[in-house]
Structure 1
Amino acid sequence: MAGERLNAAEAACELLAAAGVRRCYTVPGESFLGLLLALADDPRIEVVSTRHESGAAFMADAEARLTGGIAVALASRAPGSSNLAIGVQTAHEDGTPLLAILGQVPVGRIGSGALQEIDLAAFYAPITKWAVTARTSAELPALLARALRVAREGRPGPVAVAVPEDLWQGVAGPLDARGVQPRQASAADPSALDAAAAALAAARQPVMIAGGGAAHAREQLVALAERAGLGVLTAFRRQNVFPDAHPNCIGQLVIATPPQLLAPALEADLLLLAGTRLDDLTGQQGRLPQTGQRVLSIGPDSALPPDAEGLGEDVAETLQALLDRLPDRTSGRDWSDAHGAYHAAAQPPPSAGDGAGVDPARAVAALHRAIGGAAIVTNDAGNFSAFLHRHWRFEPGGALLAPANGAMGYAVPAAVAAKLADPAARVVAVVGDGGALMTGQELETAVRCGADILVVVFQNGLYGTIAMHEARAAGRVEPATEIGLPDFGRWATALGAHGWTVRTESQLEAALQAAQAMPGPALVAVRTDPDLIAPGVRLAELLASPPSRGER
């Protein structure tokens, strides 16, 4: 379209395509109708209509994390943009490059209290890297190009551009598709790399923590771990970035990491952070780093512990630079005990028979046998997820998409996006019954879009995490944590998918096999034992113990 005068919507399509965008997720709205019509005429970009804006944002986050590119979510004025915000905040916490394009009231009505008007740039500023409101059609291409660039520069993250509805048909300003490309990541200082390599070689017990920023640098992660003799932990909900079966893999940092798995990190004399920050959970509520531990950091994150030594921004490139500076030999450090402890923790307990419900640990094991570790797994918040993280082990090709901010409702929409982005992959959403009825209606989106996903609902009739906290703190469980036990199997059928509800372990294997054999999306609801509230924790025992804070 060189030399043509484009309207703002057409220019936006050109910029999105130049940035590699292949899908926009949305609940359509009249405040960005001009963009919707332009996208409908552009064969390069698919518009995926979702059932709620939170689902649209979660889908965009999941696609961007899976592909390593930028994804786009569209939302209308105040109601739609407010619904979208949970997924944008998730992307902010996760460091996911996401562009939110938000409809706004006509430019002449801004500030007048028009219907559905709020200051979207101000609303989105705390949960994005940059948020702006366009004021003219001419400036919109430059704003979008900057947004696409900013989202991917440094530590990736979401950006938001609010566009008054009457700007889309106006004449766009100059279009420079090259402007969407982020600046090149800064390289590490050679002397800093020399010092870091020397520190790795001299360390008594060096441990690497690998996070989402290293998801596309697995080859370099493995090579450096082997050559430098690093024990490797993965950051919270980033389990798949390093091979579970590798002898240097010593675990993952989760909520309440078992002491035997956390001990190597606490005892390390050097921590190497690769593509991660030490946030509250990866940092184990401030226990990492320990006093006296030397901390090296690879990646663009600036939120580092005091005295941490930042190396290059490009994770793969910096890992390779360290490799090139280390002796060409494998370290003699032996991580077999720690690796063995990690895999021992993954073993489910023996079957207790068909009692009050299925043991969640055994449900995870059955799912792993049915699906295999090479699947793309999505999950969201809830105590059910602790069983998944402890008992699931990834194989080559497997991936985990899970929100570090603990947002409920992520799993089902994320699975839909993962299947659309990688149609050949086997994709399973693992979700609690609380989260399933927040965004599970996106199962209809999966049916409509031909995304053959498997949804497994862990159904115990509780907001389990809160019930556990109540039991510990007050010695009782309040009625607000109790939820109903709907027949999710029939609900899935009503949405056009295949559905099963499993009440005993003896029914589980057959239901999972049947779900895999059927064409189209499928859901298996597993009625789990509500007493098994977390790995190794029974609700009845918590209720029988004195309250932890003495309130009662």
Structure 2
Amino acid sequence: MTTVAAAVADLLAAAGARRCYTVPGESFLSLIDEVDRHPDLQLVSVRHESGAAFMADADARLTGVPAVAMASRGPGSSNLAIGVHTAHQDSTPMVVLLGQVDSHLRGREAFQEVDLTAFYGPITKWAVTAERAQDVPELVARGWRIATSGRPGPVAIAIPSDFVDAEVTGPAAVEVPQAAAVDPAVVDELARRLRAARRPVIIAGEGARPARDRLVAVAERFGVGVCTSFRRQDAFPVDHPNFLGHLALATPEATVDAVAGADLLLVVGTRLDEVTTQRYRLPAPSTEVVPIGRYGTGGIDADPAGLLAALARQDGRTDAVDWAPVHAAVDAWSTPPAVETGGGVHPAAVISALHRQLPPDGIVTNDAGNFAAFLHRYWRFPATTTQLAPVNGAMGYAVPAAVAAATAAPERTAVAVVGDGGVLMTGQEIETAVRLGAPVVVLVLQNGMYGTIAMHQARDLGRTSGVDIGAVDLARWAEGLGAAAYGVTEAGRLDEALHRAITGRRPAVVAVRTDPDVISPTATLTGLLERVPV
């Protein structure tokens, strides 16, 4: 016999989990203890539950293995929800364990009680509350299978607190889903269609990232142009002549036209979300669409890596498809401008400096906000760099994600690129990095406002409201959390500060005062305000 807590810890370790992220709570005390004492698991105690869920998302996306996020009852589970929604829209496998009120108190609005099955149902693949203690190990095992099969995503299992110490016979076995063998006839037919297509295009996303080399081989063999889906810029090398651009919130017309003009579109390892499709304008009605993977309906239900490997062994096309004009247009569009500002550092200069200083195998986590437009447009992802970014636009993602990346892959350099709005939401996780010795670098573009909202207000209303952020001394703040800190107010100091932060191999913050008027790569705030009559 063993306890539920011990059985769950053993089960998670046997399945391959290595880290559990949490703010400790009284509704699952023994589970915290068992995870902490388990030789194959690391308990990561964080400063806010949103950080725990963001860390679990980044960990799973980086390693390919679900991480675990744990929270307690109503308040803790509510805080955790933003990162679970992120995992849901990101198609990230995650196991969420939630402490719940005692089983005999459920349904009476007990202290901190929330119906967690109903709450988490819309933002997970599966949500369940254990009705009996002996069911808990099997529910966790089932949750792992659901999280990692089909389109990956988060699952949530709520465990009443009186079940955690109950005795059970032992852990359930986890059957890790295996990728189905690729049907040779399906590969032959898809290769034939690629050879016959006039303008074949691939949109590559999360599921294509582990098979980037095979994706390149398929693109070259069949003359396919490749776009990356929203915030999945690392899925295909930008310097490859078949690269057609990143389908983001701002996308060059050459990229949109290339996708719209495709007669055959393979959607590899991604869903056709609102941003990737440019508000559902793409693909064109005349385009034949073939989803590959389990991210959409129809198409080919196969592991993208296996299918791409099989395609790369097929006979290619004999005629050439000329993507040079599109690639050249995208390349020119993404070249950083040589500009100066009068009120702070130009955001494009920050991205250029990061490009010069970050090692080729670095990990870039980016937050949500208008500053990210400069990263998406001007960062040219080397073939070995990883990007971790939330497709649901959740502010506060970058810092916790980078902490998780630096914990899971300490040999690589993890850099969080974030605005002052995002860093003031979850930047307290720098303390987690300091405590763990995770050498994360936090690069803050500090313009003193919620830039995205200011841009929309200026463009639509001709004025701004509620967007100001005070002139926080982020360098002193970071030092108070135990990190090295560098304040930058001039572009000429960017390289030195970033070099010192990256080579220092300890948690560090580089706070750059950027020009608040440079609100996007194509607009100034004053220019937008002047366009709308008040």
- Using the TM superposition, name which of 458-467 and 509-518 deviates more: 509-518
Alpha-carbon distance in structure 2 between the residues aligned to 1:372 and 1:262: 31
Q: 1:522 aligns with which of 508, 512, 515?
A: 508
Task: Confirm or deny: 8 A CA contact 1:234 1:242 kept in the other structure.
Answer: yes
Equivalence for 1:181: 176
Task: Give 3-state SS (helix, strand or coil) of 1:499's partner.
Answer: strand
Equivalence for 2:222: 228
Report deviation, 1:299: 0.4
Task: Give 3-state SS (helix, strand or coil) of 1:481's partner.
Answer: coil
Q: 2:431 aligns with which of 426, 444, 455?
A: 444
Q: 1:294 aligns with which of 288, 301, 309?
A: 288
Task: Confirm or deny: 8 A CA contact 2:222 2:316 kept in the other structure.
Answer: no
Task: Confirm or deny: 8 A CA contact 1:490 1:500 kept in the other structure.
Answer: no
| Aligned length, in residue pairs | 534
Task: Confirm or deny: 8 A CA contact 2:191 2:316 kept in the other structure.
Answer: no
Q: Which amino acid aligns with 1:55?
A: G
Alignment of 1:206-245 (within 5 A): 206-245=200-239
Alpha-carbon distance in structure 1 between the residues aligned to 2:78 and 2:348: 36
Alpha-carbon distance in structure 1 between the residues aligned to 2:228 and 2:316: 25
Task: Confirm or deny: 8 A CA contact 1:531 1:540 kept in the other structure.
Answer: yes
**1:420-479 Cα shifts (integer Å, max 9, x gaps):** 11110011000011000000000010000000011000111111101111111111122x
**1:69-120 Cα shifts (integer Å, max 9, x gaps):** 1110010110000000000000000000001100111111111221101111
Task: Give 3-state SS (helix, strand or coil) of 2:141's partner.
Answer: helix
Q: Which amino acid aligns with 2:525?
A: L
Alignment of 1:76-225 (within 5 A): 76-177=72-173, 179-182=174-177, 184-186=178-180, 190-225=184-219
Matched, 1:383 2:365: no
Equivalence for 2:473: 487
Q: Which runs of 5+ in 1 are unaligned?
A: none
Equivalence for 1:36: 32
Task: Confirm or deny: 8 A CA contact 2:252 2:330 kept in the other structure.
Answer: no
Report deviation, 1:175: 3.1
Alpha-carbon distance in structure 2 between the residues aligned to 1:430 and 1:40: 31
**1:377-422 Cα shifts (integer Å, max 9, x gaps):** 0011100001001111121321000000000000000000001111
Task: Confirm or deny: 8 A CA contact 2:93 2:152 kept in the other structure.
Answer: yes
Q: Which amino acid aligns with 2:115?
A: D
Alpha-carbon distance in structure 2 between the residues aligned to 1:451 and 1:405: 26
Alpha-carbon distance in structure 2 between the residues aligned to 1:270 and 1:386: 29
Q: 1:323 aligns with which of 312, 315, 320?
A: 312
Alignment of 1:306-455 (within 5 A): 310-324=299-313, 326-328=314-316, 332-352=320-340, 355-455=342-442
Q: Percent identity?
A: 55
Alpha-carbon distance in structure 2 between the residues aligned to 1:264 and 1:374: 30
**1:342-382 Cα shifts (integer Å, max 9, x gaps):** 222222111326x2011101110011111144310001110
Report deviation, 1:191: 4.5
Alpha-carbon distance in structure 2 between the residues aligned to 1:83 and 1:318: 39
Indicate the RMSD between aligned Cα atoms, in angstroms. 1.5
TM-score of the superposition, structure 1-length normalised? 0.94
Task: Confirm or deny: 8 A CA contact 1:311 1:318 kept in the other structure.
Answer: no
Report deviation, 1:331: 5.0
Matched, 1:285 2:285: no
Q: 1:465 aligns with which of 452, 456, 464?
A: 452
**1:469-498 Cα shifts (integer Å, max 9, x gaps):** 1111111122x0111120111110000001
Task: Confirm or deny: 8 A CA contact 1:189 1:312 kept in the other structure.
Answer: no
Task: Confirm or deny: 8 A CA contact 1:188 1:311 kept in the other structure.
Answer: no
- Using the TM superposition, name which of 116-125 and 328-337 deviates more: 328-337
Distance 1:180 1:53, change over 3 A: farther
Q: Which amino acid aligns with 1:335?
A: W
Task: Confirm or deny: 8 A CA contact 2:269 2:304 kept in the other structure.
Answer: yes
Report deviation, 1:194: 3.4
Alpha-carbon distance in structure 2 between the residues aligned to 1:330 and 1:109: 70
TM-score of the superposition, structure 2-length normalised? 0.97
Task: Give 3-state SS (helix, strand or coil) of 2:2's partner.
Answer: coil
Task: Confirm or deny: 8 A CA contact 2:182 2:306 kept in the other structure.
Answer: no
Alpha-carbon distance in structure 2 between the residues aligned to 1:515 and 1:316: 36
